[in-house]
Structure 1
């Protein structure tokens, strides 16, 4: 019997807690709207004013693997293709290749190899003999130029026509598939995504401010709350707020 009463009391307390939660939100709806609004405004200002637009240029290479050169075995050809793919991914961003790109692109005169490397992304699907190169820069012209120069120099260095040494895995195995074209628009920041994040973040921050405010508020807001915490019965209440009662007096 006691356990049943405890269960009912617990359910009642949980129901009251949920009710109080919505009441806190409703009573502070103006604060929530104001805080959320300004967080969204800051997000919009950052996206459209502060954040620097970046542009991405895309280019691609084709791996050349002939089955008849590998004892007529398709499996051997696929093995060599995977070797070329993995080798080129590291070769294209090696110090030798990147240094040559910096040397050939005047705008990169004061750019370090590590900085240039951070602007380059290389990928290739497992089931295709194609290598994709992406270059991101604050200048669309520079992104395009870096991508094309990177492909040109990496092929020349791999074939040994630019440097004294050649790469035995890549020599005569790479050819240009698509040159990088002028980026039609910025690839970042993502304006729609940033605004959506600002709205969600604004709501979270606004609710956080409200609950922190309520956590530091030690006043009793209703007779029910007084009875709940002090375990006493409230016989009567004086209507009106403290300010309203002072005006009456």
Structure 2
């Protein structure tokens, strides 16, 4: 026989185990807050931009669509070169960084908008000043070395990275982490409550008995507490005394 469960039954299960669900949710939020505020190291971002232009032999010659398209296609190549050891090894050496070129490459993100000649080099580091130095040094060294690497001279620096007066870390985001932890805590709590209810084989209702033995229930013995028994005896004794007194009167 296929078993079904109604929304009312689910609600009753959640109501019965609401304290467990709230405890798991609160615990997850507290753990996320502690990890975000005290255990994770804040990281900062800094960006520098350069633009790719086709060098013209004749200053009077105007740029055409073909020149711009060529520059846009070159950007994809530049994005790879700028994170190569040919550039990053020199950055590590100049700034005396405690990283290898591979480790430094993981801290650098190079992006460019579609059909744009502007390239943004973004560096993430635990020290905002170091992030600024890496971003500026990477772009400057790339601009210096690209003529030898590709025999071109078409890179101009647009903006240099600067240290803000009050830098704000980009990670971690405590509020977002706590919100995610609360959602996960609720999901885990609800799932655990339903699982415990499914695994609970205790017989508590008449329906449970019918499901277990396959026979209808024809009678139920109510649970009687000690208090009920005591009150019942007192009432019986009072009734017996009253009945005996009336009998004596009738006899006389």
- TM-score for the superposition, normalised by structure 1: 0.81
Which residue does the alignment assign to 1:88? Answer: 78
Where do residues 192-203 of structure 1 align in structure 2 (5 Å cutoff)?
192-203=175-186
Q: What value does the CA root-mean-square deviation take over the aligned residues? A: 2.6
Secondary structure of the residue aligned to 1:47 is helix
Where do residues 233-248 of structure 1 align in structure 2 (5 Å cutoff)?
233-240=216-223
Where do residues 112-151 of structure 1 align in structure 2 (5 Å cutoff)?
112-151=100-139
Q: Which consecutive unaligned segments of at least 5 residues does structure 1 have?
A: 1-8, 160-164
Aligned positions, number:
225
CA-CA distance at 1:220 after TM superposition: 2.1
1:74-119 deviations in whole A, cap 9, x for unaligned? 332133112321121011011110000000112x1x3111110000
CA distance in structure 2 between the partners assigned to 1:232 and 1:132 by the alignment:
76
Which residue does the alignment assign to 2:241? Answer: none
1:212-242 deviations in whole A, cap 9, x for unaligned? 32233211232223324543222333445xx
Going from structure 1 to structure 2, the CA distance change for 1:172 and 1:228 (only over 3 Å counts) comes to: same
Whether the aligned pair in 2 keeps the contact of 1:60 and 1:176 (CA below 8 Å) is: yes
CA distance in structure 1 between the partners assigned to 2:222 and 2:150 by the alignment:
89
Which residue does the alignment assign to 1:78? Answer: 68
Secondary structure of the residue aligned to 1:60 is strand
CA distance in structure 2 between the partners assigned to 1:75 and 1:246 by the alignment:
96
- TM-score for the superposition, normalised by structure 2: 0.80
Which residue does the alignment assign to 1:4? Answer: none
Is 1:156 the counterpart of 2:139 in the alignment? no
Going from structure 1 to structure 2, the CA distance change for 1:112 and 1:66 (only over 3 Å counts) comes to: closer
Whether the aligned pair in 2 keeps the contact of 1:67 and 1:74 (CA below 8 Å) is: no
Q: Which consecutive unaligned segments of at least 5 residues does structure 2 have?
A: 230-252
